[in-house]
Structure 1
Amino acid sequence: MKKMTSGAVAFAAASAIVLAGCSSSGSDEEPTTDATDDATTEEATETVAQDITLWLMGAPDTPEPLVTYLQDTYAENNGGTLTVEAVAWSDALPKLTTALPDAANTPDVVEIGNTWAPTFTSVGAFSDLSDIYDELGGDDLLPSFTEVGSVDGTPYALPYYFGSRNMWARTDIYEAGGVEVPTTLAEVTEVHASLKDKGLGGLYLGGQDWRNAISWIFAHGGDLAAKDGDQWVSTLSSAESQEGIAAWQEMFETASIAQANDTDADNYFIINDGTLANIPAAASMAPSWASCCIGTPVEGGEEGEVAWDDTINTAYGLPGVDGGLAPVFAGGSNIGISATSENQEGSRDLLRIIFSDDFQAMLGENGLGPANVNAKDSFVTDDFRQIAWDTAQVSKLTPAAPGWASVEGSGLLEEFFQAVAEGGDVAALAAEYDEKITAQLNG
């Protein structure tokens, strides 16, 4: 058990309860299986109906038809009722910290941001899924997401869905400026600086948009943190990381039309209809699910819905330093069973539905990268999705450090990149924030 910092302090105080519940059902009811694993008996066991609660993040981000499918199928398969509660991302950390250790109030199954998984798995917040890992997909599940949700090789939080990051661009502005799709990371800056200088359009990437900015670090061979012995340390000061940060600073100063305090909240809305300083956004960088809404709004659709004309838009993967694809940050979620839940077997039944071929295909069809790589065809239905799939294969996650959720919750990354965007000295800022971030990495 480790003491945690920042937003996870309350959770650590109750981690003894969590650890006690980990790897056990918390219930005296019989396991839910079609037949026992004991080769000496063929006696079948019956499914025990259990009413369970699933927390999904966002509004939720999982489309409503998929939520309904989970509820209906769970009722058919288990006989119990599945209640789905939406939790705003901004509220998730404090709610999880308070609820997970409390057996009386914990959700049974929880979607969690992939970057937060190590913080909770490291103190035993989720149940050991080793017994059903192969049944749920095993090695066909996204390895980076599985790794970030595991402790010493034991899986606790499995991949739910991924969203890679694409560059989204206005071909009409590119054509007006006489530029082509860039093929190297340096050309990303050059192309959009040229358009900005001509007043035709720039690159919309905000100063606080760290989730996209870190791709410049990754592309230059740097990283956010690394293990030094048994401790994690921030590595913004490494030569490779500083080279990437300096390249990102040049991009922001010469090619971006965003403000230093802008986040990634408006990336694909700005490219649709936004201008800053009377300069249109010629391109931006956003997750693959932005394909739903990238385009010029036109009249049409049913009941006043907006129809999107994508004929003047294009997408491409962020190019690397020497071409190819740069390692972009893969967003998305993991999913696990609360260790204090008294409905362990019903929760396992729900995971069986989530990782079924049918539901994996439904995720893909709705633009959420499926956890199982065998569901690729459901996701890759057009050129945009193919680009998203390709970039996901070379994507990179944030460090699997126990305190990473605290780092994200602290706002240190937003502060750091804003200071860089404002023209701060890269080496001095990297050293300053390495010290601040390292203090939180190890929980």
Structure 2
Amino acid sequence: MSGSAPTALTDELHKEFEAAHPGVKVKYEVQQWTGIQDKLNTALAGTTPPDVLEIGNTQSPKFAEQKVLTDLTANSADLGGANWGAGLKASGAWDGKQYAVPFYAANRLVLYRKDLFEKAGITTPPTTQAEWLTAIEKLKAANKDDPEFQPLYLAGQNWYTLLSFIWDEGGDVAKQDGTKFTATLNTPEAKAGLEFYKKLVDVSGTKAPKDADEEKPPQAGVYGKGKVGMIVGLPWEVATAAKENPEIKNLTSGFAIPGKKAGSTAPVFQGGSNLAVPAGSKNADLAKDYLKLLATEKYQQQLVGAGMIPGSSKNTSALDKDPVSAAMAKGALSGKAVPASPNWGSVEAGANPIKTMLTAYLTGVKSLDQATADANTAIQQALAGK
């Protein structure tokens, strides 16, 4: 997929693979994410699918459930299975079998302005939720004469960030029992996560819209204008912010999303991709050899060098060279995934019930109990395929 494996990596990988398999030629094609779902449906339903596919980790359960991917359970050890993170592994599994293997991932962290922290007397980044709230108050006090300043910019529908707080409380969007999923957004733990999200919004006084996510407007652009102390975002948003102000890169650092308890970071959603072998592949053994080579430390470290969390290696020490990447890697130790349901796509598509819940609660249109109850009903229906 566009924007995934660096060209230098794939060039070297294909050269080595072809050398080890005389007479074999790798035909490599890069696809765009827009419209990829339809392309995948067509390819996997045909008689001549590609031998290896990259698929988003939230797309994987649907194809696994449809049995249009090769069962790779017996090959897991050769494909780096000992190093797969729990969340990434789960996204490629279905009914006790592994149909896709982790490729790479990335996760959110808190990006912050070092100069503004120093001005506010914040000497070390927050490590707990309480310290985070204190930092917000200090930033607010240090910039009280600037009505445009926001200590934290947090859009009302930044639901991936909400997941961190729900998970940190011990809750989840849904629980899984075999191939059955039951929505759990109405539990005390989920409600506690939502309450902390609202506390961040209220304490910070963020001017971000409560009825839109972090892309409307793009939060990196808002951060780049210099009137924001922190955002919860992805590492590459620093480069986007630098388009507004080139100096922002040198002024920015990061820390893992703080947990409720001292000594622990909040779990984070790991977005990324998996790799799979279509069930209709005519070269399944070669495809497995290809994945085995990609899973070696040599190529896994090239993914790390590109700023990614590798799918088949636990060695992310190279990310420590950059404070933002280092903070992402620290958070990745408690990475999680959305429910691995084949129907999850219908939750994210269109009117996402979690986004609707956030807006209703933050604006006071619904109480906490009503907002979570309504969202829980909608997600249950989606997971049940209704």
Higher normalized strand content (fraction of residues): 1
Which SS does the other structure have where 2:102 is aligned? strand
Q: How far is the alpha carbon of 1:293 from its aligned partner?
A: 5.8
1:386 corresponds in structure 2 to 326
1:308-341 CA distance string (max 9 Å, x none): 6644222111111123311121222211111122
Pick aligned residue for 1:236 from 179, 182, 185: 185
**Aligned 8 A contact 2:101 2:275 in 1:** yes
**Aligned 8 A contact 1:289 1:368 in 2:** no
State the TM-score, normalizing by the size of structure 2: 0.86
Distance 1:193 1:66 in 2: 45
Pick aligned residue for 1:313 from 237, 252, 256: 252
Q: Classify 1:372/1:294 alpha carbon distance in 2 versus 1 (closer, same or farther; 3 Å).
A: farther
Which SS does the other structure have where 1:284 is aligned? strand
Say which one has the larger Rg. Answer: 1
1:117-164 CA distance string (max 9 Å, x none): 222212212111134322222312223312331224322111101212
Q: Structure 1 residue 338 and structure 2 residue 278: aligned?
A: yes
**Aligned 8 A contact 2:238 2:248 in 1:** no
Structure 2 portions without partners, runs of 5+: none
Q: Structure 1 residue 122 and structure 2 residue 71: aligned?
A: no
Q: How far is the alpha carbon of 1:242 from its aligned partner?
A: 0.7
Flag the structure with more relative contact order, 1 or 2, with Cα contacts below 8 A and sequence separation at least 6: 2
Distance 1:414 1:95 in 2: 28
**Aligned 8 A contact 2:61 2:340 in 1:** yes
Which SS does the other structure have where 1:211 is aligned? helix
Distance 1:292 1:349 in 2: 36
1:426 corresponds in structure 2 to 368
Q: Structure 1 residue 184 and structure 2 residue 128: aligned?
A: yes
Pick aligned residue for 1:417 from 350, 358, 363: 358
**Aligned 8 A contact 1:233 1:434 in 2:** no
Q: Classify 1:192/1:257 alpha carbon distance in 2 versus 1 (closer, same or farther; 3 Å).
A: farther
Q: Superposed, which structure 2 residues align to 1:177-326 within 5 Å?
A: 177-179=120-122, 181-192=125-136, 195-196=139-140, 198=144, 199=146, 200-227=149-176, 231-255=180-204, 256-265=206-215, 266-271=218-223, 273-274=224-225, 280-290=227-237, 310-323=249-262, 324-326=264-266
State the TM-score, normalizing by the size of structure 1: 0.76
Q: Classify 1:230/1:149 alpha carbon distance in 2 versus 1 (closer, same or farther; 3 Å).
A: closer
Which SS does the other structure have where 2:316 is aligned? helix
How many residue pairs align between the two structures? 371
**Aligned 8 A contact 1:206 1:264 in 2:** yes
Q: How far is the alpha carbon of 1:219 from its aligned partner?
A: 1.8
1:360-398 CA distance string (max 9 Å, x none): 111011111112234333444344333222211112221
Q: How far is the alpha carbon of 1:93 from its aligned partner?
A: 2.7
Pick aligned residue for 1:86 from 13, 27, 31: 31
Q: Which moved more, 1:405-414 or 1:215-224?
A: 405-414
Distance 1:411 1:339 in 2: 33
Which SS does the other structure have where 2:261 is aligned? coil
Q: Classify 1:123/1:296 alpha carbon distance in 2 versus 1 (closer, same or farther; 3 Å).
A: closer
**Aligned 8 A contact 1:202 1:281 in 2:** yes
Distance 2:135 2:10 in 1: 42
Distance 2:290 2:240 in 1: 31
